[in-house]
Amino acid sequence: IARIAGLPQALAGAGLIITGEGQFDASSLAGKVVGAVCAAASQAGVRVALVAGSIGLAPPAGTHALELTGLAGGAAAAMREPGRWLAAAGAELAARQPGAA
Convert the pLDDT of each residue in 2-32 to its tens digit.
788 889 899 998 999 999 999 999 999 888 8
Can you give the pLDDT at residue 100? 58
User: For 13-48, b where at least 16 C-beta lie within 10 A, e where not — what string?
Assistant: eeeebebbbeebeeebbeeeebbbbbebbeeeebbb
| Residue type at position 81 | E
pTM for the whole thing? 0.86
Alpha carbons 73 and 68: distance in angstroms, whole number: 8
